[in-house]
Amino acid sequence: MRVPGGLILALVLSACGPKTMDARLRDAERLADRASGHLDKAEKAAIQLEPKDMESALDDAKRDLAEKDIELYPEAQMHLDRYKELAGRLPAVKAEREKRDLERRLNTARDKIVPRVQALLEAQEALVPTAPTAALVESVESKAKAVRDAVDGELDLFVKDADFAAWAKSQRNKVDKALESAARSKKGVAFLEGPATAWKEGLALRVDARGKKDLSDKESTLRDARTKLSACDRNARPFDEDKVTGAIAFVMPAGKPQTPAQLSSTCQKDLKDTEAEWKKVLAALDAEKAKKKAQEAREKAQAAKEQKARELKEAKEKKARLLKEAKEKKARELKEAQEAKAARAKAAKKK
């Protein structure tokens, strides 16, 4: 049976001296006020869903309510009842706080994942299978990695919320599909950067060759064009045999879209036409070389003829010079003989 607080107070007062009781009553009031403050904090913490603060305040209130002199306070039982009520609410506050924290984490996780998924979908939309580029493939791969990292960073939430786990897994599936799409597009990039580019370069070289005046330059450029077009035909065939790229009509650098098989046929035709031009140029170059060789032979023969004429002329001139020198020598010797004879005759006459 519960004893009224006033009766308890009267019994205590009758058993104690006035000073001792006054001091104890003051302590009781102080303890009650302090306990009430702690309980107010606990209630506020409960409203604000702060279970740690609530538990700490309840512990403080419990210590005050456990003091013996608190029983001297008329409303001590009311404080104790209030403590019990708040302590009973603590598990619910903890659960509600956990629920709120989880919801916030879930919202934060979604806010991180959703924009990345949107960016991935936009990158996928830009990556057209018939006209992929290395930059677009890289964009899809990097954005897929961003989504994957965002989802994998929240794996602990999978066991805490089934709906989030299902949703996150669906986003992760989008990553796998995007990476599969990027892998297929990589083959398309290889096709466009390989045989398709070789075809374009081969045609450009053929056009360039037609504008060249020098036959050697023309022949060299057409030979390079043949190499490019031959590489186009040869390298397009494996893409035709690949089940991913074989059926795709890719956007070409010029003209209508073509499958690898069609491009191979196109390159064969262009190669044949280029070889015909190249052979004509080769023939013209051979004729030019033969003409030049014949000209050189004629010039050589003419030079030899002129050399022979010069030698013959020089020989005649030398012979005439020698004859003249011999004649002049003979005339000098005859004159010297005559002069010597005349000198001797003159000398003899003086004797």
Taking all residues of the chain, what is their mean pLDDT, rounded to a whole number?
A: 89
Tokens of 340: 């010597």
pLDDT at 131 > cutoff 80? yes
**What burial class does residue 318 get, using C-beta atoms within 10 Å of its C-beta: 0-12 exposed, 13-18 middle, 19+ buried?**
exposed
Rounded Cα–Cα distance for residues 162 and 156 (Å) = 11
Q: Convert the pLDDT of each residue in 158-192 to its tens digit.
A: 888 899 999 999 999 999 999 999 999 999 999 99
Instruction: List the structure tokens of 54.
Output: 């609530």
pLDDT tens digits for range 260-303: 999 999 999 999 999 999 999 999 989 988 988 899 999 999 99
Percent of the chain clearing pLDDT 90 (strictly above)? 58
Determine what percent of the chain is predicted with pLDDT higher than 70.
Answer: 94
Given a cut of 70, whether residue 2 has pLDDT beyond it is no
* pLDDT given for residue 351 in this prediction: 67
**Three-state DSSP class for residue 303:** helix
**Residue-range domain boundaries for the chain:** 5-104
Compute CA distances 184 → 88, 91, 92, 246, 345, whole Å: 61, 55, 54, 11, 130
| Secondary structure of residue 255 in the 3-state scheme | coil
CA distances from 87 to 55, 60, 83, 99 (A): 8, 12, 6, 19
Q: Is residue 131 within 8 Å of residue 83, measured between CB atoms?
A: no
Q: Which whole number is the average pLDDT over 320-332?
A: 90
Q: Which residue has the tokens 């075809």?
A: 199
Q: Whole-structure pTM over 0.85, yes or no?
A: no
Q: What are phi and psi of 258, to 5 degrees?
A: -140, 145
